[in-house]
Chains A and B, each alone.
Chain A
Amino acid sequence: MSNEAYEAVIGLEVHTHLMTKSKLFCGCSTEFGRAPNENVCPVCMGMPGVLPVLNRRAVELAVRAGLAAHCEISPRSIFDRKSYFYPDLPKNYQISQYETPVCRGGYIEIQSGDGAPKKIRLVRIHIEEDAGKNIHEADASLVDFNRSCVPLIEIVSEPDIRSAAEASAYLHELRGILRYIEASDGRMEEGSFRCDVNVSVRKRGVSELGVKTEIKNLNSFRFVEKAIEYEVNRQIATLESGSRIAQETHLWDPVREETRPMRSKEFANDYRYFPEPDLPPLLIPPAMVEEIRRAMPELPSDRRARYIRDFGLSSYEAGVLTAERETADYFEGASVGLKNRRTAANWVMTEVLRIANETGQQISEALPSAREAGALLAMVEAQQISLNAAKTAFAAMIKSRKSAVETVAELGLAQVSDTVAIASACDKLLAAEPEKLAEYRAGRDKLFGFFVGQVMKAMGGKANPKVINEILKQKLAG
């Protein structure tokens, strides 16, 4: 069996909550983590006689997503009812969009394996309401409707993705964009960013598509990659053994690390979509699109270009710093008063990201403010403290939440640049080490490091190494 003879054809369907305060069709809160059935009302509970009223902010955020992904914004789209019975769906239909999504076409640009940019085209982005949540117990199921009617967009890609790595790159880019434009918080673990994957394989050079399977239950980037790798290999093995792929829905089992077919529903999907009679068409005139475009925050790709152009950062550095909006904001906040933006760039890429990774927290939770980080780095630039001392101070600031100035003073980290004190330490050392001095003057240049170290030791490690170097050179020269 040769996997090389096949190529994978992958399309992704991403559902993400929109960051609104209230629900899509009623004034209930969308807050996550509340006690069950606290954020509910007759509208999101599907009581008879209620009417949905559309949340303008949800529409704006959906249009933002469409603009960020280069979509065409539909001037007129309608809502449809998608009917099915499930206990988490109180109306027995979901209000969604079927034939006329709010956004069509567009693309997300990723870096493919060889580093070249690749466009993953989108089919559509549409607005819909979320369902409630079921909790399955031994003898019964429990239903919480807090999530019912929370606004979602579904972003459907064309089957342009060819590997698990590309799928991951696409998801990271898409999530980054949605977070930048404040449409989504992108939290997969809380279920506010969910992904279904459509996978098929075909022999290389063949243009028609193979039979696809859909994989659900993927709540982390790692699972998406692993599930695709598993499913592609499974499909190739199935075809090589002479069997056929069944068109079915699989669930990813993160414990056994395999996909398994869901017990097929009694009858195939038959959602009987029809226009939602309770909602007039959604009209988005060009003026509204322009207004939304003007209010759009800077996109990650624009920021990357700006960092390379204005700050002289490399494409790699710009990529790391802009991967998350929070990181980019922190970098810019910390570098405001610095002579060299690179001082802050290096600091963020090493210290800040390392600490955020280790603690698993958001930068805003785990670290001192960008302003205080900037104050600390300004002291490094002014040679008032060493880079190592800055690291020590930063670690202390994380715990104490005190300012950079206070922390450096408290810990006595300020560098001694006092030439008289350093010269005196140098004199004492040379007087105490006449043999080494003679050796050095006879040509053993390597001893220079020894002298620097000894002076630094005598100064309690706080002397400015640059000043030590200068003074020592003079004195050693005699």
Chain B
Amino acid sequence: MAEKKITLEQVRHVARLARIDLYPDDEERLRTDMDQILSYVDKLGELDVNGIEPTVQVGESGAPMRSDEVTNSPNAEAMLANAPVRHRGYFKVPKIIE
């Protein structure tokens, strides 16, 4: 564990992408955790995968497809029922600043 695989700046970047506020104490702890995870995953690098297609999923039967039919009927009320705030049939959210 001598070599650091991830910097504090990268930890902050990932936290920002995930919209997570970190306390300064958390940052170093998370950095260590992430370092360990990456070291563990590095194990895979020991395998020779030359010429092998990446396996995205196991079982290559392909995505099942449905025919193009409308099977849901309008039910705005049911979908809006869980909205914390609503306004004239819309979900209302804090103003987005462009």
By a beta-carbon cutoff of 8 Å, the part of chain A in contact with chain B is: 20-22, 26-29, 34-41, 45, 53-59, 76, 78-79, 83, 85-87, 134-145, 262-263, 266-267, 270, 272, 275, 277, 279-283
Q: Is the CB of A36 within 8 A of B79?
A: no
Bound-state CA distance A26–B79 (Å) is: 15
Chain B proximity of A229: nearest CB distance (Å): 25
CB < 8 Å neighbour of A38 from B17, B63, B74, B93: B74
- List 23 A–B pairs whose Cβ atoms lie within 8 Å, in order of A's numbering: A22-B68, A22-B69, A27-B66, A34-B74, A36-B88, A37-B80, A37-B89, A41-B79, A45-B79, A55-B68, A58-B68, A59-B65, A76-B62, A78-B56, A87-B93, A141-B92, A142-B91, A144-B90, A266-B16, A270-B13, A280-B64, A281-B57, A282-B63
Q: Which residues of A contact B88 (CB under 8 A)?
A: 36, 142
Q: Is the CB of B93 within 8 A of A37?
A: no
Bound-state CA distance A262–B65 (Å) is: 39
Q: Which residues of B contact A45 (CB under 8 A)?
A: 79
Bound-state CA distance A54–B62 (Å) is: 11
Q: Is the CB of B89 within 8 A of A35?
A: yes
Q: Is the CB of B64 within 8 A of A21?
A: no
Knowing A27-B70, A141-B95 are in contact, say whether A55-B65 is a contact too (CB < 8 A). yes
Q: Which residues of B contact A283 (CB under 8 A)?
A: 60, 62-63
Bound-state CA distance A76–B63 (Å) is: 10
Bound-state CA distance A58–B69 (Å) is: 12
Asked whether any CB of chain A lies closer than 8 Å to the CB of B98, the reply is yes
Chain A proximity of B44: nearest CB distance (Å): 16
Knowing A136-B95, A141-B94, A143-B93 are in contact, say whether A281-B70 is a contact too (CB < 8 A). no
Contacts beyond the supplied A34-B74, A57-B67: 20 A-B pairs with Cβ under 8 Å: A21-B69, A26-B72, A27-B72, A29-B70, A29-B74, A36-B88, A37-B76, A38-B75, A56-B66, A87-B96, A140-B92, A140-B95, A141-B94, A142-B88, A142-B92, A143-B91, A144-B89, A267-B13, A279-B63, A280-B63
Q: Which residues of A contact B67 (CB under 8 A)?
A: 56-57
Give the top 4 A-B pairs by smallest Cβ distance, nearest first. A27-B71, A283-B62, A57-B68, A142-B90
Bound-state CA distance A58–B68 (Å) is: 8
Q: Is the CB of A140 within 8 A of B76?
A: no
Q: Among B17, B79, B90, which residue has the most Cβ atoms of chain A within 10 A?
A: B90
Q: How many pairs of A and B residues are in contact by the CB < 8 Å rule?
A: 135
Chain A proximity of B73: nearest CB distance (Å): 9
The closest CB in chain B to the CB of A267 belongs to B16
The closest CB in chain B to the CB of A36 belongs to B89
Q: Is the CB of A22 within 8 A of B64?
A: no
Q: Which residues of B contact A87 (CB under 8 A)?
A: 91, 93, 96
Q: Is the CB of A280 within 8 A of B61?
A: yes
Q: Is the CB of B87 within 8 A of A140?
A: yes
Q: State the interface size on chain B (CB cutoff 8 A).
A: 37
Bound-state CA distance A56–B63 (Å) is: 10
Main secondary structure of the interface of A (DSSP, over half): loop
Bound-state CA distance A4–B88 (Å) is: 54
The closest CB in chain A to the CB of B85 belongs to A140
Q: Is the CB of A56 within 8 A of B68?
A: yes
Q: Is the CB of B96 within 8 A of A86?
A: yes
Asked whether any CB of chain A lies closer than 8 Å to the CB of B59, the reply is yes
Bound-state CA distance A144–B91 (Å) is: 7
Q: Among A53, A57, A280, which residue has the most Cβ atoms of chain B within 10 A?
A: A280
Asked whether any CB of chain A lies closer than 8 Å to the CB of B43, the reply is no
CB < 8 Å neighbour of B87 from A40, A55, A142, A277: A142
CB < 8 Å neighbour of A281 from B60, B75, B76, B85: B60
Q: Which residues of B contact A78 (CB under 8 A)?
A: 56
Chain A proximity of B88: nearest CB distance (Å): 7
Chain A proximity of B76: nearest CB distance (Å): 5
Q: Which residues of B contact A266 (CB under 8 A)?
A: 16
CB < 8 Å neighbour of B90 from A27, A37, A85, A86: A37
Q: Is the CB of A55 within 8 A of B70?
A: no
Q: Which residues of A contact B16 (CB under 8 A)?
A: 266-267
The closest CB in chain B to the CB of A282 belongs to B63
Q: Is the CB of B64 within 8 A of A35?
A: no
Chain B proximity of A451: nearest CB distance (Å): 68
Chain B proximity of A108: nearest CB distance (Å): 26
Q: Which residues of B contact A22 (CB under 8 A)?
A: 68-71
Q: Is the CB of A53 within 8 A of B66?
A: yes
Knowing A21-B69, A277-B57 are in contact, say whether A263-B98 is a contact too (CB < 8 A). yes
Knowing A55-B65, A59-B65, A283-B63 are in contact, say whether A140-B72 is a contact too (CB < 8 A). no
What does the 1/0 interface line of B4-35 toward A look like (CB < 8 Å)?
00000000010011010000000000000000
Bound-state CA distance A28–B71 (Å) is: 6
Q: Is the CB of B89 within 8 A of A27?
A: no
Q: Which residues of A contact B60 (CB under 8 A)?
A: 280-281, 283
Bound-state CA distance A76–B57 (Å) is: 13
Q: Is the CB of A27 within 8 A of B94?
A: no
